[in-house]
Chains A and B, each alone.
Chain A
Amino acid sequence: KQEVTQIPAALSVPEGENLVLNCSFTDSAIYNLQWFRQDPGKGLTSLLLIQSSQREQTSGRLNASLDKSSGRSTLYIAASQPGDSATYLCAVSREPGAGSYQLTFGKGTKLSVIP
């Protein structure tokens, strides 16, 4: 059974700092990995998707890397802003069966960026 772990569970940084969020998974037979952002009581916003054959993806100040063989991914946020404060969730999908790419989520890292 796939297990996804995110470290740290919470992180508080001053505005402008660069930071790294970590995600690890136990079964390397994944199809893709997605990073999501979730604001309190709100929905999930997809930030980046990395296919299992890719090493990294970038979007603006965000960069996500994937090392499938070691079961690790990192989300790098450059020049953090107070608006980045949210919970960041990592999720992996397994090799698809009959069109299903069900996601297994980590418990998230709660980020607070202090002005």
Chain B
Amino acid sequence: AAGVIQSPRHLIKEKRETATLKCYPIPRHDTVYWYQQGPGQDPQFLISFYEKMQSDKGSIPDRFSAQQFSDYHSELNMSSLELGDSALYFCASSQGTSGKGEQYFGPGTRLTVT
């Protein structure tokens, strides 16, 4: 069965650089979530999109932005990177209000900021 795809899997950036993370949801899933998991921490919700519109916002820094495109893939753009942004970034998808809300997670993108 198709799963959530994230790219790249690993990314190394320097402070103050920018990064773009991509997420391709499971086919026919209309909702995408982004989570950040710092070292030894639990995942924290950043932002979500439903039918290409932002549906909810969590603890996402102003330096970060995201969008969902017409094909339902999503991109998380991160600017002015800081050392503290080093983390695993997960994307999850679900079937929005028509499903049970079960979220399926991608393998994550490991971002290292040096």
Contact = CB atoms under 8 A, between A and B. Distances in A.
A62 B99 CA distance: 23
Interface in A19-51: 31-32, 34, 36, 41-46, 49, 51
Contacts of B90: 43-44
A44 B106 CA distance: 7
Contacts of B41: 107
A13 interface: no
A30 B53 CA distance: 23
**Range, interface on chain A:** 20 to 34
A100 B33 CA distance: 8
Interface in B74-114: 88, 90, 92, 94, 96-97, 100-108, 110
A60 interface: no
Interface string B29-48: 01101010000011111001
Interface in A53-68: none
Contact of B58 (A34, A41, A102): A102
24 contacts: A31-B101, A34-B103, A36-B105, A42-B108, A44-B90, A44-B105, A45-B105, A46-B104, A89-B43, A93-B101, A96-B97, A97-B56, A99-B31, A99-B51, A99-B55, A100-B33, A100-B48, A100-B55, A101-B94, A102-B48, A102-B56, A103-B45, A103-B92, A104-B45
Interface of A: 31-32, 34, 36, 41-46, 49, 51, 89, 91, 93, 96-108
Given A97-B56, A102-B45, 11 more contacts: A41-B110, A42-B107, A43-B90, A44-B90, A46-B102, A46-B103, A46-B105, A49-B102, A91-B43, A102-B58, A104-B45
Interface of B: 30-31, 33, 35, 41-45, 48, 50-51, 53, 55-56, 58, 88, 90, 92, 94, 96-97, 100-108, 110
